[in-house]
Structures are given as C-alpha cells and as structure tokens.
C-alpha cells in the first residue's frame, strides 16, 4: 500500500504542472487590465504605467510565465497585485477559517446525513423514511444564502444567542456550519439511503438474516461496510468542494475564507492569487481522492491496491 | 432490540445539549469601543497608494493632512495653519501648526512635509496617487514650521489636492524604519488614533493616541473597522449591536433599519453624480438634437424613486452642488413630446437601435439600466443592455486605444470629484485631453472653449475669475448635452443612537473627529 500511495504522489507532479500552465493561460485570457483596475477609476495613464511596472506586468507573457514557474518551484507564489502581500501569506491566513468551517460542517452533516439515510433505508416507506427524505429534499432545495439569512435573523438578530458574523470563538461557527452543512447533510442522507436500500436487497444480507443474525448485526456489520463505499466517495467530493470555500456562505457570514479571496481576486484580476488558489484547490482534490482510495481498503479489506 | 432508535436518541441528546449551550447572552462591550461595519476590505493603509475612498477614510484614523475637508466638504486647515501663494501661482508657502507629534513620539515639522512630498513625487516609489501630486516640482524647508512648495506650472486647485484624503503626513522616522512599501503595514501619523493591528480581511483596529494635538480628543478608546461585504449581514450587525455605525445602507434595507428605535438612519447629500454619456463621435449621437431628445425622454424624478428608493435627487447641473464652483442649470425637464419632435428633426422619426452599457452590475445599476431602456423605448430608441463587469469595463471603455472605433454608445456611469473642486469634476470627464484611454471622457466630447476655460481656471489664482470660467464651461456643456444628467445620489448610513459625531461626507468618505459614545 505504501508503494501505491507513493506512486500516486509521484503522479501528482505532472498533473499539477499541467494545471499550472492552464491556469496561467486562462487568467491572462480574462478581459481587463489588472494595472488599470488596481490604479483605480481616476488614475492617469502615467499612474497606470507606474502601477503596471510595480506589479511586474510590463514584462511579456512568456517572461511572466517563466517567472511564475520559477517562483512555484521555489515555493514562492509572488505577491498579490491588490494587497501587495505575499500570496502564500494571504492564502495561509484564509485557509484555516475555511478548513475548520469545512470540518465542522462535514462533521455534523455526515453524522446526521448518514443517520437519516440509514434510518430511511431500514424503515423504507414508513414514517422515519418520509420525514428523513422530506428533510433531505428541503435541504437540497433551500438555497444556502436564504438559509443563512434566515438563521442569522432568527438566532442572531431576534434571539441574540450567537453573533451575526465573525469567527472569534466557537459560537461564530454555529450558524455558518449549519448553513454550509445543510445541503451536504441532505445529499449524504439521500446517498446513504439509496446505497443501503440496494445493499439490504443483496443475497448476502438475506443469507446473513437467514442464518439467524439479529438485525443490528446485519445492518451495522454486513450492510454498512459495503454500503459505505459510494458514501465515502461522495463524502470526499463534498469535502473537496467545501474546502474550496463557499462563496455564498462566506459572504453572508463575513467569513475570512478562501471563497471570498477567490472572488475578490477574480474581480481585481489578481493573477498570482488566482493561480495559487486554483493550484491549491486541485492539490486538495487530489489529496482527498487519495485519502478516499485508502479509506476503501480500511472499510472493506476485500479491496486491494495495485 | 433494534439498535437504531438508541443511536438516534443519543444523537438527539447531543444536539439538545449543543443548542442549550448556545443560549448565551450577546457580548457586552466595554464603554467606549466603537465598531464600524463597512462594505469592502481595505486595500492598504497607505493613502498615497490607495485608490478607494474607503481605505482612505479608514486611514483618517491615524493620518492627517496639511489641509482637509469638514463634514460638509468645506476646505479647512488641519496640520497647516495658513498658506500664501506667489502672484504667479507657482509657489505655495505653508505655515505649519506647532506642537504636533507623530504617534511614534517624533515631531511634526517642515522636514516631514518635504519627506512626504518627495516620496510621492518620486516615480520610483510607484505610488497610485502619483498623478495627483506630480505637479510638485520641489519642496523646501524654510524654517522648522514653514514649508515652501514649488509647482511645475500654475495649478489653482493645489490646496484642494493637499486636502484630498490621500495627502497625509506620515512620520519620516517610520518611513525610514519600514521603507516606502512596508509602511502600509505599520502606519504612523499624527491622527487621533494609533494603529493596533490589521487582520485582513477580518478587521483593522486603532486605539486612542494620548499625545494627540487636539486636546480632549478623541473621545472614544478604540475603533474597530470591520469589513462586512454582504448588505444584509451588515444590517444584522447593526441590529445585534455588534456594530455602532455602518455605511452604506442599501436602499431596500432602509425601511427595516428605520423601524428600529435604537438606530438612526441618515441620508446625506453627496457629490456622486450619475449620468448617461453619449459617444458624440458616432452617429446618431453626433447630432445635438438626438442627445437633447434622450435627455428630455428620461423622467429623472421617477428614476430617483424607482431605482434609488427616493434616496437621490434629479441632477441640476454637470457638477454636483457640494462641489466648489458648481453652477445650478437644471434639472433637465422631462418632456416626451419635445423629445420626439427633436428626434424627428434629426431624421429619426421612428427612433433607432443602439447599445446601452452600465459601468456597474450591482442591483441598483440594473434597475437604472432597465428604467432607462423603458424610457428611451417611449421615443422609439431600442436599446440592448449590457451590464459591464469591472474587467470588461476597463477593456471595452476605459482603455480602448482608438477613439474612432470605440464601441461605447450610451454609457451609464457615475463620478465623484474626490478633491471637492470643479477641476476634477470637469477635466477628467469632459476635456478633450481626457478621451479614453487617458481619462474618462466617455462621451468623446470636445468643445474648444470648454477646454480653454478649464485650462484657464487652473492657471489663475483669482477666485472670481475662476468662478467665471467654470460657469462658462458648465453652461456650454449643458447646452451641448454630451450627457443626459440623471441624479445625484444620497448617501445612506445608519448609526446607533448612542454614537455621535460620525458623518458620511459628500464624497462618501467619513468624518469622525468628534466621535463619541454615550
């Protein structure tokens, strides 16, 4: 298995390089001149020229590309065009708030989603199923920004239990993680349910029941291991998406995370920040996929790595 | 027994505990700490390198200039006591206030003035406000409290440039210590508050500077500047008491906040003029009758009501009232019959098709664009709306290289003259030297007499002469109608009733000299 992980990690390098090249080309294709945007609405052409020089945008595209690749190889992602701080610093500062928000959202939504999903599958077409699936469909259909605003109005403005915005202490995490996790919980619930329903109809489950195992063993020991495989895949995907920073939730709760950083960077055509963020997101996805693959083996030892 | 109900019960119990533990009272604030909730993150703390009003307004916490504006945009001396101009308009001698200290304990004197002006006028420092100060040829120290600034050519709006929020005095010692770039992370000025920390994008905190030269000020212990991007969230913050002041308040939330007894909603006049510029180089807008027809066809009163929820007034000139030397010429009447007649005379009895671009894509601008489309439809002008995103705007309008092929036709945009003076309200927008990509004359308007007036007004230091020239320019522009002037916006802010002395100025900057919390 170590060999497998190592070979996957080695495969990372060409993938990331390709992504880097594509991202570089894409951001430079975006319409709009970052020097002009940074210089502001009432800047004279001389000022724009000064700003362009300051940002290193007076060089040719190939020169900028060489500089970018060289920088990345030395773990230097340049400086943000708008704040002039090192991009690595800028991202590091925003990464932890997004990461913890993701972890908390995932924690509650996976727990809940799976519990609802399993209950719905076990009591299929009976009231736990109906309630669970009603919740799940509402969770998917209710847009996050609306949910966020409703939660904020009720719990922060009307009741005053939690602060409206901010991540200073754990109370600040409650509303955003609820908002962010709602859709994930719903997706997890539906996914778990369908996966379990399939598995519970399998021959080996019937065999298990036939040999007189009690239902608890059948569901938890036999069905769970097999049903979890697609659920874990989904979990990994969702985790990856959330780590990219939710633009909507971060805006509503004023979360100092990566989603807002990306939006701001695109608005200001902040090339170095966009490039570094896209590289980071790709890296996160690849890493999560790897973890998910390893998890398969742990959940179901019948799966082997080659 | 089936294991699942027990599992569910445990989970439920856990949730119940979690919810119960949430029931904690809202945080109580120490008496004199104020939180400002503002709409976007700060780009820098260095006013010489900032192009956004907000960053410059925030920087007033720790920086002051030689001159400044009071809350009504009247020019006042701050760190300067007085000034004299040589008859040729080239040399400004500025007497400085005595006994002023920077927050690092060093003295403010003429040397500091020289250091700051030398810094911004040196192109090697690549500061974004270079353009505003490049007119300075040299700065000399006459004595400890007298500085002499010599200009490259006469520029009568110079004192206004010094009052611009970017023209601040930074401690030379701090500049030396941190360097021209890193001073942005370690600001040291003479202002009422000293810099504590800047956690981007969370907040920027400043606390009372005990050695402030204005005795008895500031009256609060700290200000926390909190950027909160979402409009609803900013409003929520005011209602929970997590912030005491917020700007801007979106029009749709005005009613909600107005209803709260502990909050006060303030609508202040602005110098933000909204207008529809028409590309005068292109048919059919090269015909003044077509341009007049468009100006007549728009009901500005209704526009203010529909798109701005009543928080705007029809524009009554090409330069807003609060700007020095503005002349009241309008508002341009709403007269559909006359518009149709003019259009017919110009040879377009059935109207024509054209493009209508908006320089912004936020919701108010969308409402404006749709309203304008509907109004122009009345006289047969069919428009295709495009809401430009910032990057597109730069590419398709502001940096278009060749005036002859510029694709802009009808263009909805706004402007505020950040120096509070007619020059910066007219020259960048209507002088022929300012055609894009140089500046923002998006109408590609050229009137030689207007050009001469604007140049002449800059060269003279005689106020009556200046007023005469600016009046002539504005009247000519009004007659030529390169724009359909639309409205002047009002600036909506809200503050807690316990908070006093914070004002939104007409240029959307803030004045908080007298800030106090009861």
Chain B residue at shortest CA distance from A40: B51
Cβ atoms of A4 and A306 closer than 8 Å:
yes
Residue B22 exposed, middle or buried by CB count within 10 Å (0-12, 13-18, 19+): middle
CA distance A12 to chain B (A): 32
pLDDT of residue A42: 67
- The answer to whether the Cβ–Cβ distance between B22 and A118 falls below 8 Å is no
- The answer to whether the Cβ–Cβ distance between B227 and A161 falls below 8 Å is no
Evaluate the CA torsion angle B341, B347, B353, B354 in order and state its sign. negative
Q: What is the mean pLDDT of residues B374-393?
A: 90
Does the beta carbon of B391 lie under 8 angstroms from any beta carbon of chain A?
A: yes
Torsion, CA A158, CA A161, CA A167, CA A173, rounded to 10: -100
pLDDT tens digit sequence for B398-449 = 888 889 999 999 999 999 887 888 998 999 999 999 998 888 899 999 999 9
Chain A residue at shortest CA distance from B240: A157
- Select the more confidently predicted residue: B390 or B441: B441
Out of A40, A90, A162, whose CB is closest to B128?
A40
Residue B9 has pLDDT above 80, yes or no: no
pLDDT of residue B16: 47
pLDDT of residue B26: 40
- The answer to whether the Cβ–Cβ distance between B230 and A156 falls below 8 Å is no
Cα–Cα–Cα angle for B30, B33, B38, rounded to 5 degrees: 135
CA distance B16 to chain A (A): 13
**Model confidence at B7, in pLDDT bands (50, 70, 90)?**
very low
- The answer to whether the Cβ–Cβ distance between B242 and A157 falls below 8 Å is no
Contacts of B25 in chain A (CB under 8 A): 160
Residue A201 exposed, middle or buried by CB count within 10 Å (0-12, 13-18, 19+): exposed
CA distance B394 to chain A (A): 5
Per DSSP, the residues of B139-205 read: EEEEETTEEEEEESS--TTHHHHHHSTT-B---HHHHHHHHHHHGGGS---SSSEEEEEEETTTEEE
Paired sense of beta strands B410-416 and B499-500, if any: unpaired
Residue B503 has pLDDT above 70, yes or no: yes
- The answer to whether the Cβ–Cβ distance between B395 and A40 falls below 8 Å is no
Out of A36, A157, A251, whose CB is closest to B394?
A36
- Select the more confidently predicted residue: B331 or A247: B331
Contacts of B229 in chain A (CB under 8 A): 251, 254, 260
Closest C-alpha among A187, A157, A32, A201 to residue B260: A157
Q: How far apart are CA A256 and CA A238, in angstroms?
A: 20
CA distance A301 to chain B (A): 25
Phi and psi, residue B436, nearest 5°: -55, 150
For residue B238, CA distances in Å to A154, A299, A301, B213, B480 come to 15, 49, 55, 32, 46
- Scanning A142-170, the segments in alpha helix (DSSP H) are 144-151
Q: How far apart are CA B499 and CA A151, in angstroms?
A: 28
Contacts of A171 in chain B (CB under 8 A): 22, 24
Q: Which two tokens stand for residue A70?
A: 């060289």
Cα–Cα–Cα angle for B43, B45, B50, rounded to 5 degrees: 55
Lowest-confidence region among B48-52, B337-341, B444-448: B48-52
CA distance A174 to chain B (A): 9
Burial code (b: 16+ CB inside 10 Å, e: under 16) for B264-283 equals ebbbbbbbbbbbbbbbbbbe
Torsion, CA A49, CA A52, CA A58, CA A62, rounded to 10: -160
Top residue of A171, A185, A254 to mutate, by most chain B CBs within 10 Å, is A254
pLDDT of residue B327: 93
Element holding B495 (H helix, E strand): strand B483-496
- The answer to whether the Cβ–Cβ distance between B242 and A163 falls below 8 Å is yes
Instruction: List the B91-96 sheet strands across, edge first.
Output: B80-85, B91-96, B146-151, B136-143
Chain A residue at shortest CA distance from B4: A119
Phi and psi, residue B353, nearest 5°: -110, 145
Contacts of B129 in chain A (CB under 8 A): 47
Per DSSP, the residues of A236-281 read: HHHHHHHHT--HHHHHHTT--SHHHHHHHHHHTT-HHHHHHHHHHH
Residue B8 has pLDDT above 50, yes or no: no
pLDDT tens digit sequence for B178-219 = 998 889 999 999 999 999 999 877 899 999 999 999 999 899
Q: How far apart are CA B481 and CA B352, in angstroms?
A: 19
- The answer to whether the Cβ–Cβ distance between A38 and B51 falls below 8 Å is yes
Within the 155-194 window of chain B, which residues sit less than 8 Å (CB to CB) from chain A?
A: 181, 184
- Select the more confidently predicted residue: B23 or A209: A209
- The answer to whether the Cβ–Cβ distance between B395 and A31 falls below 8 Å is yes
pLDDT of residue A305: 64
Q: How far apart are CA B246 and CA B265, in angstroms?
A: 10
CA distance B209 to chain A (A): 26
Q: DSSP letter at B123?
A: G
Q: What is the pLDDT along chain A (306 residues), one digit of tens a residue?
A: 778 888 888 888 888 888 888 888 888 887 777 887 777 766 777 778 887 887 778 888 888 888 888 888 888 888 887 777 888 888 888 888 889 899 999 999 999 898 898 888 888 888 888 988 888 888 888 888 888 888 888 888 888 888 887 777 788 888 888 888 888 889 889 888 988 888 888 888 888 888 888 888 888 778 888 888 888 888 888 888 888 777 888 888 888 888 888 888 887 788 888 888 988 888 888 888 888 888 888 887 777 665
Helix, coil or strand: residue B93 = strand
- The answer to whether the Cβ–Cβ distance between B3 and A219 falls below 8 Å is yes
Q: How far apart are CA A119 and CA A193, in angstroms?
A: 8
Helix, coil or strand: residue A304 = coil
Within the 360-389 window of chain B, which residues sit less than 8 Å (CB to CB) from chain A?
A: 389
SS (H, E, C) B321-339: CCCECCCCCCCCCCCHHHH
Q: How far apart are CA B262 and CA B495, in angstroms?
A: 9
Within the 1-30 window of chain B, which residues sit less than 8 Å (CB to CB) from chain A?
A: 1-4, 7-8, 11, 22-27
Closest C-alpha among B483, B516, B361 to residue B410: B483
Contacts of A163 in chain B (CB under 8 A): 26-27, 240, 242
pLDDT of residue A41: 66
Torsion, CA B243, CA B245, CA B246, CA B250, rounded to 10: 110
- Scanning A123-170, the segments in alpha helix (DSSP H) are 127-141, 144-151
Q: Which two tokens stand for residue B18?
A: 């979690």
Cβ atoms of B178 and B186 closer than 8 Å:
yes
Residue B295 has pLDDT above 90, yes or no: yes
Q: Which two tokens stand for residue B414?
A: 């706004």
pLDDT of residue B398: 84
Q: What is the interface size between A and B, counted as CB pairs within 8 Å?
A: 157
Q: What is the mean pLDDT of residues B492-505?
A: 93
| Complex-level ipTM | 0.77
Average pLDDT, chain B: 89
Does the beta carbon of B467 lie under 8 angstroms from any beta carbon of chain A?
A: no
- The answer to whether the Cβ–Cβ distance between B8 and A82 falls below 8 Å is no
- The answer to whether the Cβ–Cβ distance between B24 and A171 falls below 8 Å is yes
Q: What is the mean pLDDT of residues B288-297?
A: 95
Top residue of A27, A29, A32, A122 to mutate, by most chain B CBs within 10 Å, is A32
Chain mean position to CA A285: 8
Cβ atoms of A164 and B233 closer than 8 Å:
yes
Out of A39, A82, A256, whose CB is closest to B202?
A256
Residue B449 exposed, middle or buried by CB count within 10 Å (0-12, 13-18, 19+): exposed
- The answer to whether the Cβ–Cβ distance between B22 and A251 falls below 8 Å is no
Estimate the crossing angle of helix A224-243 against helix A87-122, to 10 degrees. Answer: 150
- The answer to whether the Cβ–Cβ distance between A83 and B43 falls below 8 Å is yes
**Model confidence at B31, in pLDDT bands (50, 70, 90)?**
low
Top residue of A164, A166, A196, A260 to mutate, by most chain B CBs within 10 Å, is A164
Within the 396-425 window of chain B, which residues sit less than 8 Å (CB to CB) from chain A?
A: 396, 398-399, 418, 424
CA distance A254 to chain B (A): 6
Is the bond preceding residue A31 a cis peptide, omega within 30 degrees? no
- The answer to whether the Cβ–Cβ distance between B128 and A156 falls below 8 Å is no
Q: What is the mean pLDDT of residues B156-171?
A: 91
């Amino acid at each position: 298995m170590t060999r497998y992980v190592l070979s996957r990690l080695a495969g990372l390098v060409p993938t990331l390089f390709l992504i880097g090249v594509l991202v570089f080309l894409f951001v430079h294709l975006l319409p709009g001149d970052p020097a002009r945007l940074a210089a502001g609405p009432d800047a004279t052409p001389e000022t724009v020229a000064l700003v362009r020089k300051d940002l290193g945008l007076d060089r040719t595209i190939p020169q900028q590309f060489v500089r970018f690749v060289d920088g990345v190889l030395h773990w230097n992602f340049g400086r943000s065009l708008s704040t002039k701080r090192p991009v690595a610093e800028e991202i590091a500062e925003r990464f932890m708030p997004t990461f913890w928000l993701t972890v908390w959202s995932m924690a509650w939504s996976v727990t809940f989603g799976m519990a609802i999903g399993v209950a719905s599958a076990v009591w299929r077409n009976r009231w736990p199923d109906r309630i669970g699936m009603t919740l799940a469909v509402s969770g998917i259909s209710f847009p996050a920004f609306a949910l966020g605003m409703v939660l904020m109005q009720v719990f922060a403005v009307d009741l005053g239990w939690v602060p409206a915005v901010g991540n200073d202490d754990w109370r600040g995490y409650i509303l955003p993680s609820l908002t962010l996790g709602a859709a994930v919980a719903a997706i997890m619930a539906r996914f778990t349910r369908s996966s379990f329903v399939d598995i519970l109809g399998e021959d080996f489950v019937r065999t298990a029941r036939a040999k007189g195992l009690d239902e608890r063993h059948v569901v938890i020991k036999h069905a769970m291991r097999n049903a979890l495989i697609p659920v874990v895949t989904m979990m990994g995907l969702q985790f990856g998406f959330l780590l990219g920073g939710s633009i909507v939730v971060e805006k509503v709760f004023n979360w100092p995370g990566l989603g807002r950083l990306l939006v701001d960077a695109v608005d200001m055509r902040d090339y170095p920040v966009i490039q570094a963020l896209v590289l980071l997101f790709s890296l996160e996805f690849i890493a999560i996929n790897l973890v998910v693959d390893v998890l398969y083996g742990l959940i179901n030892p019948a799966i082997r790595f080659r | 027994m089936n294991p699942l109900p027990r599992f569910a019960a445990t989970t439920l119990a856990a949730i119940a505990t979690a919810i119960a533990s949430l029931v904690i009272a809202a945080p109580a604030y120490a008496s004199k700490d104020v939180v400002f909730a503002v709409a976007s993150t700060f780009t820098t703390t260095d006013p010489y390198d900032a192009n956004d009003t907000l960053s410059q307004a925030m920087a007033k916490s720790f920086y002051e200039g030689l001159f400044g504006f009071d809350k009504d945009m009247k020019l006042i001396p701050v760190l300067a006591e007085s000034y004299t101009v040589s008859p040729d308009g080239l040399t400004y001698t500025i007497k400085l206030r005595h006994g002023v200290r920077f927050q690092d304990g060093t003295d403010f004197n003429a040397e500091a003035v020289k250091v700051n002006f030398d810094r911004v006028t040196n192109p090697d420092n690549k500061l974004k406000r270079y353009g505003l100060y490049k007119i300075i040829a040299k700065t000399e120290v006459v004595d400890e409290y007298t500085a002499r600034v010599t200009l490259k050519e006469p520029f009568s709006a110079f004192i206004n440039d010094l009052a611009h929020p970017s023209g601040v005095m930074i401690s030379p010692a701090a500049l030396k210590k941190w360097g021209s770039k890193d001073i942005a992370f370690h600001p040291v000025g003479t202002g009422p508050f000293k810099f504590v920390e800047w956690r981007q994008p969370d907040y920027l905190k400043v606390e009372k500077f005990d050695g402030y030269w204005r005795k008895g000020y500031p009256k609060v212990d700290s200000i926390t500047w909190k950027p909160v991007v979402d409009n609803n969230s900013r409003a929520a913050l005011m209602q929970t008491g997590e912030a005491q002041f917020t700007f801007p308040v979106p029009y749709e939330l005005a009613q909600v906040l107005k209803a709260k007894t502990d909050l006060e909603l303030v609508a202040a006049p602005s110098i933000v003029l909204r207008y529809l510029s028409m590309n005068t180089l292109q048919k059919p807008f090269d015909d003044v009758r077509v341009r007049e027809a468009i100006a007549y066809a728009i009901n500005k009163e209704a526009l203010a009501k529909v798109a701005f929820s009543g928080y705007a007034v029809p524009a009554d000139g090409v330069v807003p009232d609060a700007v020095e030397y503005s002349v009241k010429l309008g508002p341009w009447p709403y007269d559909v019959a006359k518009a149709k007649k003019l259009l017919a005379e110009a040879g377009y009895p059935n109207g024509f098709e054209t493009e209508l671009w908006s320089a912004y894509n936020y919701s108010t601008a969308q409402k404006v664009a749709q309203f304008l489309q509907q109004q122009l439809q009345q006289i047969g002008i069919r428009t295709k709306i495009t809401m430009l995103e910032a990057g597109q705007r730069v590419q398709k309008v502001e940096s278009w290289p060749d005036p002859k092929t510029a694709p802009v036709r009808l263009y909805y945009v706004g402007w505020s003259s950040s120096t509070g003076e007619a020059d910066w309200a007219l020259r960048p927008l209507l002088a022929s030297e300012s055609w894009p990509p140089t500046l923002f004359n998006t109408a590609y308007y050229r009137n030689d007499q207007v050009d001469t007036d604007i140049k002449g007004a800059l060269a003279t230091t005689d106020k009556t002469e200046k007023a005469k020239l600016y009046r002539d320019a504005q009247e000519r522009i009004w007659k030529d109608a390169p724009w359909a002037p639309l409205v002047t916006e009002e600036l909506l802010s809200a503050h807690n009733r316990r908070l006093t002395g914070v004002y939104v100025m007409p240029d959307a900057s803030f004045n908080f000299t007298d800030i106090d919390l009861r």
